Amino acid sequence: MATLTVPALRTRTPAVLRNRAVGKLLLLALITAVLLPLLHGRAWPHHLTVSLTGPLTHASDWIIDNRDTHPLFLYFFGYISNAVVLAVRAVYVTLLALGWPGVTALGALVAWRVAGPRLAAGTAVAFLACGVLGMWEPTMQTLALMVAAVLASVLVGAALGLAGGLSARLDRALRPVLDTMQVLPAFAYLLPVVLVFGIGVPAAVLATVVYAAPPMARLTALGLRGADPEVLEAVESLGATRRQRLLTARIPLARKELLLGLNQTIMMALSMAVIASVIGAGGLGDRVYQALSTVDVGQALAAGIPIVLLAVVLDRVTGAAGADGAKGSRTIGWPYALAVTVAAALAARLLGALDWPNGWSVQIAAPVNRAVDWMTSHLYSGVPVVGGTADWAAHFTTWVLDPIRDGLQWLPWWSLLLIVAALAWVIGTWRTALTAVLAMAAIGVLGVWDPALDTLSQVLAAVAVTLVLGLATGIAAARSDRVERALRPVLDVFQTMPQFVYLIPVVALFGVGRAPAVAAAVVYALPAVVRITTQGLRQVDPAALESARSLGATGRQQLWQIQLPLARRALLLAVNQGVVLVLAVVIIGGLVGGGALGYNVAFGLAQGDLATGLVAGAAIVCLGLMLDRVTQPTERRPGKGA
Amino acid sequence: MRLRTTIPVALAVLGLTTGCGAADMTRQASPFAHTGGGKSVTLSVQSWVGAESNVAVAQYLLEHKLGYRVDTVQVDEVPAWDALSQGRVDALLEDWGHPDQEKRYVEDKKTIARAGDLGVTGHIGWFVPTYLVKQHPDITDWHNLNKYASLFRTAESGGKGQLMDGSPSYVTNDKALVKNLKLNYQVVFAGSEAAQITQMKQFAKEKKPFLTYWYSPQWLFKKVPMTEVKLPPYKDGCDADAAKTACAYPRTPLQKYLNADFAKTGGKAAEFLKKFRWTTDDQNEVSLLIAQDKMSPEAAAKKWVDSHPSVWKKWLS
């Protein structure tokens, strides 16, 4: 999901930047010239690596041997685990007791209450569609998991955000932690969670919280800091205590940010629900994953569509709750909604129709599989003139991926650090540059320099493709309302469809290797890039455009000389988001032959090999941090005081 | 002040709701189990279709003949051992041999109990498609593989021949084999069985040459006939040190394992799972229905159960 949080867009004149940039680069060049005699060799020097295999294997053995007896597990992790199981179970049992009529009624009525009748109808249709696809039970399991995970994420996130919002010092301390949590590809930290909690729901919920809590924390802090100072002063002058001020003024004023935070948290938790199926979370994600093992794209799609529907419904409903003015006389009261739900559930119970009726489902798997088969058998190779997709993939691997990888691995290690430093410093501050260089150096120290560069080459290639396609589509959408409207549902689907669903079609089209991994990453990252580009271009000051038009600028001139330069910040954000999202999928690309770090993480998970998996996971995290810093367009300190 | 009192209260509430005293990590079932009010069993499914067939048939019989509710969880073998010892799943029906795990959980910790043979013998090897053997009959001996390396070249193999390996969860010594047998090949990991099967089908459709790590019993042999490449013969212990291995893979009678508590107190379900034992052909029949004819595992299991009463009646007695 696009982590579109807090793009504190600030304008800085490019001229000043350019001058500063030259200064920074000169300084870097000077430092290099001084250090150059000390640096030699191409690959990361062996004596600068630390092998973690021994300690990690020990740690893993210790955990397994002491998990059933040590107080740390009996009195701490055990309770957490039990609490999660109980919470998920409680929600699940409630959902089952409501039966499908009760759940559908409840969903529709809640949507009606917060967002009006149109979304209520949409919600009801979405729930019924889950049943029609034969996925009612897994949908309920996923919902139960989601409710528990979102609740926990919101509690954790709001607590962190409250701390950050009330204390500037805590805010500064939390910021790098949240940054790191957000750029971590989820796949990378499943293994340690599994080791402590074992396969299953508790581990899945906790991994989801790590992933989904940061946007809540960030937006809560932002909302609290951004409260109108005049209102606060007025409240203070009335003699309110600190606590009263917080509860009666600051939190209500931050309502919009809080709801946006909830929205972001839900979306991220949902995308994690599928990845967590790798560690036995059950539900829809598990169905997608099981369908994958029989190479059954149709079945995977049948389980993927409910996820998309849930995401779209939850996004629209929480989005409408955040926006003002959606409510009016058309909405209904809570008691009424509750009464109707209970009535529906009771009626279903009396009629004995709590479970989704067996006959009421449509099998979409067979036609979908036929379509995929047709596509792959006609496009894979031997298409006249343009060649088949397999040929493209082979060319892409030989002409693009191989040169980038070989180039990166050929560069001396210190020159790569230097390039990273230069990029990060020119775009950000010396702090971001330092973080980026340290992250890159950590990869070398972990002893996975070469595979990390292999992964990096895939990320770079995928980002390049994503940007070319994304910017072009984004520009088209920004210039025509019709294109944007037509694009919106397509983007929704691509953004929320679990990545596992399109792993098999990309293999069928591009063969096994790095090319399908790149293709899957492009599909996943494209929507965010398109969205941010469109938004950035549309927000360009209309006065500037108007004046350009009055001076007789052509459409092309307007685009290149006014819109694109003015939307520079948004475009950089698009690059940043593209990089982070691509990295998240290139890891999953390890499952279709992407190799490198992604394969190592998958290997670690599958073989319970903490040393391989965790080191690769840590390297991915470092890679993510480095890439994020190098492309970080916004300064992280939005100078507003509390 | 207020905070200081709330934390102990919260802990106390948590303690009461989760059962006082120590929270036993070894006794935690899935939150989705036992919801229907009846007895329930949780089976682990591994990512290959053969394992799915075992589970499908066991599930069908448990549900329809013994009246249990069955939950399934997809996990790879090694994590499944861990889940089994913790009671997250009750049974693992197809294990390909994990001596380390056996020692740790069955012999030392006694949290997992053996449940006998599955009846199927597993074998891992290197395979080439049979249409290729018709063109080059001597390709089935590893001595000749270097001669044909250029046939197997792909974009991923960097000028060498491609030996395709599968999921990271498989037992494999292939990297060491290629090195120790001095083969001009590059091991390319498909990353998952699904990706590997998809690629093999694509190759077969165009009658292209390929060399792959594969295993039997496997339903794909009926769709893409393949011939095994002879590697230096397997002797006991020749694969003891994975890095020095230079021999073929052994034949492994596949094993079943149960959670130790479940084995004792699992009643009819545990008895049934211990007796569950069928042949390679039986398993392939179900696998083919699932993977090739795209039947749901339940429908495939029903079809097999309806046509082989003599086999499964023994398991229920």
What's the average model confidence in pLDDT over A390-419? 84
Give the C-alpha separation, B182 to A109, whole Å.
69
Asked if the Cβ–Cβ distance from B22 to A75 is below 8 Å, we say yes
Chain B residue closest to A296 (CA)? B294
Other CB atoms closer than 10 Å to residue A10's CB: what's the count? 11
Separation of alpha carbons B255 and B232, rounded Å: 26
Tokens of B156: 């991923």
Q: Does the CB of A182 have a partner CB in chain B at under 8 Å?
A: no
Residues B87 and A122: their CA atoms lie apart, in Å, by: 41
Q: Which residues of A touch B290 (CB under 8 A)?
A: 294
Q: Check residue A505 and give its pLDDT.
A: 82
Rounded-to-integer distance, Cα A219 and Cα A256, Å: 9
Shortest distance, CA B195 to any CA of chain A (angstroms) = 5
Residue A595: Cβ-neighbour burial (10 angstroms; 0-12, 13-18, 19+)? buried
Top-confidence residue, A613 or A273? A613
Strand partners, B212: B127, B164
Residue B14, pLDDT score: 52
Q: What percent of chain A has pLDDT over 90?
A: 5
Q: What six digits make up the tokens of B2?
A: 């207020």
Rounded CA-CA distance A579/B34 in Å is 44
Going by C-alpha positions, the residue among B63, B120, B43 that lies closest to residue B305 is: B63
Residues 239 to 268 of A: which have CB under 8 A from any B CB?
Answer: none
Residue A67, chain B, CB below 8 Å: the answer is yes
* Cβ separation B189–A88 shorter than 8 A: no
How far is A592 from A509, CA to CA, in rounded Å? 12
Overall average pLDDT of the A493-507 stretch: 80
**Residue A9 pLDDT > 70:** no
Q: How far apart are CA A61 and CA B104, in angstroms?
A: 10
* Gap between the Cα atoms of B11 and B8, Å rounded: 5
pLDDT higher than threshold 60 for residue A519: yes
pLDDT, tens digit (0-9, with 9 covering 90-100), for A281-312: 778 888 888 887 777 888 888 888 898 888 88
Rounded to an integer, what distance in angstroms lies between the CA atom of residue A605 and that of residue A602? 5
Please identify among residues 76-95 of chain A the ones whose CB lies closer than 8 Å to any CB of chain B. 77-79, 81-83, 85-86, 88-89, 92-93
Q: Which residue of A has its CA nearest to B71?
A: A282
Q: Are A110 and A277 in contact (CB under 8 A)?
A: no
Give the whole-angstrom CA distance, residue A470 versus residue A479: 14
Task: Label residue A240 by pLDDT band (50, 70, 90).
Answer: confident
CA distances from A499 to A284, A386, B29, B205 (A): 13, 28, 29, 26
Select from B73, B88, B168 the Cβ nearest to the Cβ of A606: B168
Query: Which position has the token pair 């309502």?
Result: A255
Alpha carbons A303 and A282: distance in angstroms, whole number: 12
Q: Which of B6, B73, B81, B102 to mutate to test the interface with A (most CBs of A within 10 A)?
A: B73
Cα distances from B226 to residues A335, B47, B220, in angstroms, run 67, 21, 9
Q: How many contacts (CB atoms, under 8 Å) link A and B?
A: 220
Do the chains contact at A199 and B88, CB–CB below 8 Å? yes
Alpha carbons A356 and A360: distance in angstroms, whole number: 8
> Which pLDDT score, from 0 to 100, does residue A568 have?
80
- Give the contacts of A585 (CB within 8 A, at least 6 positions apart): A462, A499, A517, A520, A521, A524, A525
Cβ contacts of B45 on chain A, cutoff 8 Å: 290
Beta carbons of B202 and A592 less than 8 Å apart = no
Contact A279 B167 (CB under 8 A): no
Cis peptide, bond prior to residue B217, ω within 30 of zero: yes
Find the radius of gyration of the CA atoms of chain A.
26
Substitution target in B294, B296, B298 with the highest count of A β-carbons within 10 Å is: B294
DSSP secondary structure string, B161-185? EEEEE--TTS---HHHHHHHTT-SE
Best of B16, B28, B48, B261 to substitute, by most chain A Cβ atoms within 10 angstroms, is B28
Please judge whether A73 and B31 are an interchain contact, meaning their C-beta atoms are less than 8 angstroms apart. no
Residue A101: pLDDT over 70: yes
Interface of A with B in 486-505 (CB under 8 A): 503-504
A208 strand-pairing partners: none
Closest CA of chain A from B301, distance in Å: 15
Q: Could you please report the per-residue DSSP string of A336-404?
A: HHHHHHHHHHHHHHHHT--SPPGGG----HHHHHHHHHHHHHHHSS--TTT--HHHHHHHIIIIIIHHH
Which site among B11, B17, B18, B25 would you substitute to test the A interface, given the most A Cβ atoms closer than 10 Å to its Cβ? Answer: B25
Residue for token digits 């984004």?
A474
Average pLDDT per consecutive 10 residues, chain B (317 residues; last block may be shorter): 52 50 62 68 86 92 88 83 85 87 87 89 91 90 89 86 87 88 90 86 88 88 89 84 84 90 87 90 89 84 92 86
Q: Looking at the DSSP assignment, which residues form a beta bridge with residue B187?
A: B163
Mean of pLDDT over chain A: 80
Window A:152-181, CB contacts with B under 8 Å: none
Residue B265: how many other CB atoms lie within 10 Å: 9
Interface of A with B in 18-37 (CB under 8 A): none
pLDDT score of B61? 92
Instruction: Report angle CA B19, B21, B23 to the nearest 5 degrees.
Output: 70
> Could you give the dihedral angle defined by the CA atoms of residues B176, B182, B184 and B186, in that order, rounded to the nearest 10 degrees?
10
A612, pLDDT greater than 80: yes
Report the pLDDT value the prediction gives residue A63, as an integer from 0 to 100.
Answer: 82
Dig out the tokens for A357 from the structure: 């009726």
Q: How far is CA B223 from CA A631, B51, B132, B191, in A?
A: 49, 19, 15, 22
Residue A523 has pLDDT above 50, yes or no: yes
Structure tokens that stand for B274 in this block:
């211990």
| DSSP-assigned letter for residue A45 | P
Q: Is the pLDDT of residue A179 over 80?
A: no
- For tokens 């230079």, the residue is B246
Which residue of chain B comes nearest to A355, CA vs CA? B36
Rg (CA), chain B: 23
Residue A76, Cβ neighbours under 10 Å: how many?
12
Closest by Cα among B86, B102, B67 to B26: B86
| Residue A533 Cα, gap to closest chain B Cα (Å) | 34
Note whether A301 contacts B: Cβ–Cβ < 8 A.
no
Cα A380–Cα A382–Cα A383 angle in degrees, nearest 5: 85
Residue B46 sits at the vertex; the CA angle it makes with A77 and A69, to the nearest 5 degrees, is: 25
B202–A394 CB contact, under 8 Å: no
Q: Who wins on pLDDT, A275 or B208?
A: B208
Greatest mean pLDDT range, A372-386, A421-435, A612-626: A612-626
Q: What is the chain A residue with the closest CA to B290?
A: A294
Determine the residue type at A481: D
pLDDT at A37: 65
B135 touches chain A (CB under 8 A): no
* B154 close to A (CB below 8 A): yes
Cα–Cα dist A429/A624, whole Å: 18
Nearest to A293 among B49, B89, B155 (CB): B49
- What are A12-43's pLDDT values in tens digits? 445 555 566 677 777 777 777 777 666 666 67
ipTM score of complex:
0.82
Copy the structure tokens of residue A217: 């924390």
Question: Which one of B25, B31, B45 has the shortest CB-CB distance to A78?
Answer: B25
Predicted TM-score (pTM) of this structure: 0.82
Please check whether residue B291 is in contact with residue B219, taking contact to mean a CB–CB distance below 8 angstroms.
yes
Is residue B26 helix, strand or coil? coil
Say if B213 is an interface residue toward chain A (CB within 8 Å): no
Interchain CB distance below 8 Å, B168 and A380: no
- CA gap A67, A440 in Å, rounded: 35
Q: Which helix (DSSP H) or strand (DSSP E) does residue A190 occupy?
A: helix A190-197
DSSP class of residue A26 equals H
Asked if A135 and A306 touch (Cβ cutoff 8 Å), the reply is: yes
- Tell me whether residue B293 is exposed, middle or buried, using C-beta atoms within 10 angstroms of its C-beta: 0 to 12, 13 to 18, 19 or more: exposed
Query: What are the φ and ψ backbone dihedral angles of A169, each rounded to 5 degrees?
Result: -70, -45
Dump the DSSP string for B184-202: SEEEEE-SSHHHHHHHHHH
